[in-house]
A and B are shown apart, each in its own frame.
Chain A
Amino acid sequence: MAFSQPWLLWLLPLALLPLVFQRAHSKSYSWLDMLPPDPLSDLIGLILKILAVLTLLFIVLGLSAPHTKQQEIERIGVGAQIGLVLDRSASMDDPFSGTTESSLGETKSAAAARLITQFVQSRKNDMLGMITFSNSAMYVLPLTENKEAMVAAVRATAGNALFQTNIGSGLTSGAGLFDKVPDSGSRAVILLSDGGGRISADTQQKIRDWFDRMHISLYWIVLREPGGLSIFDKNYAPNPDKALPPEIELYEFFKTMKTEFHAYEADDPKSLQLAIDDINRKEKKPIKYLEKIPGKDLSNACLVIAAIMITILLGIKYLEVKTWH
């Protein structure tokens, strides 16, 4: 039980006024000793006083807006704490078929948004957070159980974007989502990007350390243009004179991570769906989580009680003798 306006409780002594002050319109009678004792009358007098006191009490209580405290119930469900790290670079607005050909078909970001929305809605007990990144990370939504907020956040990812892809910043921010959140035992970051980006050695070390410390597994979904370089290509022979392509380099780095890592490649919405379904299957461990039940507002109940009592008092007022001197 808590009060939104606790200072109004200082008015509570006002409720005792009916006991201190007598009724103003009391009639004068010559000698009360002449009136024989009548328990019913005494009882009514007492009830009237109590009613008046309670009326004032409930009005003051109602004004001070009491409510029950927010409750947290520990529940065990199947789910995970998942941080979504979405690529918002401009290339995501291209269709899967790439920019060179006709721009027919669903864009990568729209497909991602659609499928992630389905994913979010299919997961009952997950806590989801979201980070988007292009040239730097944008903090969108902390880990939350609120599905509506999540769906709205996914929807909000559409729009104009920059051309750069700063995966390192996205991943560190994604790991930051799990900071100060109790560990449920199942934590994952889903990195959805098209192509790769280079990460400096410092950042690599930082990502490796953070993911390890917070026990976060990583799922990487690469949206690949058809015919593009595949990270799973066994036959790919690196050109010794050049640096590795960013996708390959990133894949090599992720493989060195101490925590679990899975990579998926998707070159059309269907394969993207398959990747997400796979993650959905894997991230199903029993987790403990706290369900928050919001406090109930009791002020209306107080005011209704006060109104009922005032009605009773008015009814008694109606019964009051008016014809006598």
Chain B
Amino acid sequence: MTIKDIKEFSYHIGWRNRGRHPGRHASTQRGMGMEFIGHTSLISYPDPRRIDLRQTIRDPMEQVYVRLFNQKSSTPVFVICDLSGSMNFGAKERKIRKAADIAESIARSATRNSDPFGFVGFDDMVREDWISTASFKSHRAIELAERLKEHHPDAVSGAGISDVWRYLPRERSLVFLISDFHMPHEQLESSLANLLRHHIVPVVLWDADEYTNLPENGITSVTDPESGAKRTLFLRKNYRNKIIAAFEARREAIYKLFMEFDMPPFYVEGDFDADKLTEYFHQFVAA
């Protein structure tokens, strides 16, 4: 995929960050912005370009005033990507490939918004070889995502999610957490609690072949890509309905969990549509 083919989306954040680097997001950083926040004396903010003549004249103490502005700053954008065995699943397109597509789209969109972009991959631990530190140049991250498309995860769990917060900056960042979230509820809950400092957008990758597109009837043997456990399934209408019900219950459960942390999930089932992500930001993030 060439860079031109990568679809972008627009996003914004609902908080003020403190980055010095000029960008497009509201910030608490004084600087060359448009957002007026008050006056101070020239002594304390010696910038003669910003002298406010009207305020200076009105002051009986004959102090010279300057206007203060907040600049717009950049906000680090991160993709935390699940590289566990279950991400290898997928009939038409493996989940990890889809995750790489989404990561590329995010990387391009971040660059467009002059935000630094970083990538952290984890399986049963945080994978240092799948880390791209935050950078304003997205090419490295895109190159990494291209490599990710051909990556076939080993039979490993996704336990590294609980350590991923150590690899994120101290300042609040916009974090896309891409995973199928096929992991124990408690593990997910404790990991999300550690990530609360950041603005998390959970991107839930599910595949219709996992539940709704199951074959009507038949016997098959299935392997768990993470634990290697095997089971024989006798698929029939009754059991298919049970599986679908189990997935719906799971969807309900993780939705509830995400909403407890105020992180509305973004579901990707089938093809990734960048416009949907734009809509997501309009819907859930106050401008």
Contact = CB atoms under 8 A, between A and B. Distances in A.
Interface in A108-154: none
Given A35-B246, A44-B234, A319 B218 contact: yes
Contacts of A101: none
B232 A44 contact: yes
A223 to B, nearest CB: 82
A325 B222 CA distance: 11
A23 B229 CA distance: 12
B33 to A, nearest CB: 47
A321 B215 contact: yes
Contact of A31 (B86, B215, B218, B221): B86
Interface stretch (B63-71, B135-143, B162-170, B235-243): B235-243
B182 interface: yes
Given A30-B86, A321-B218, A45 B226 contact: no
B215 to A, nearest CB: 5
Contacts of B217: 319
Contacts, number: 102
B223 A41 contact: no
Interface in A15-47: 22-23, 25-36, 38, 40-42, 44-45
B88 interface: yes
Contacts of B220: 27, 320-321, 324
Given A26-B222, A35-B243, A321 B88 contact: no
B interface bracket (residues with beta carbon within 8 Å of A): 35 or more
B54 interface: no
Nearest to A46: B232
Contact of A26 (B209, B210, B221): B221
A162 interface: no
18 contacts: A26-B222, A28-B223, A29-B224, A29-B225, A30-B180, A31-B224, A32-B222, A34-B210, A35-B222, A36-B246, A40-B234, A41-B239, A42-B231, A44-B234, A45-B231, A48-B232, A319-B218, A324-B220
A323 interface: yes
A44 B219 contact: yes
A324 B214 contact: yes
A31 B182 contact: yes
A41 B224 contact: no
B242 A34 contact: no
Contacts of A32: 222, 224, 227, 229, 231
Contacts of B86: 30-31
A316 interface: yes
Nearest to A25: B221
B233 interface: yes
B247 interface: yes
Contacts of A42: 231-232
Contacts of B235: 321
Which of B95, B232, B250 has the most C-beta atoms of chain A within 10 angstroms of its own C-beta? B232
B285 to A, nearest CB: 29
B269 to A, nearest CB: 13
A323 B95 CA distance: 20
B231 A28 contact: no
B223 A29 contact: yes
Contacts of B229: 32
Given A36-B243, A41-B239, A31 B232 contact: no
Nearest to A23: B221
Given A28-B225, A34-B182, A36-B242, A320 B218 contact: yes
B27 to A, nearest CB: 41
Which of B215, B227, B234, B235 has the most C-beta atoms of chain A within 10 angstroms of its own C-beta? B234
Contacts of B180: 30-31
B89 A316 contact: no
A27 to B, nearest CB: 5
Given A32-B227, A40-B239, 10 more contacts: A26-B223, A28-B88, A29-B225, A30-B210, A32-B229, A38-B234, A41-B234, A48-B232, A319-B217, A321-B219
Given A34-B250, A324-B209, A28 B234 contact: no
A34 B243 contact: yes
A44 B239 CA distance: 14
A80 to B, nearest CB: 68
B119 to A, nearest CB: 22
A120 to B, nearest CB: 65
B207 interface: yes
B49 interface: no
Interface string B247-261: 100100000000000
A67 B245 CA distance: 55
B215 A34 contact: no
Nearest to A321: B218
B91 interface: yes
Interface in A283-325: 316, 319-325
Contact of B232 (A33, A34, A45): A45
A29 to B, nearest CB: 4
Contacts of B232: 41-42, 44-45, 48
A322 B217 CA distance: 10
A138 B207 CA distance: 91
Nearest to A320: B219
Contacts of A324: 91, 209, 214-215, 220
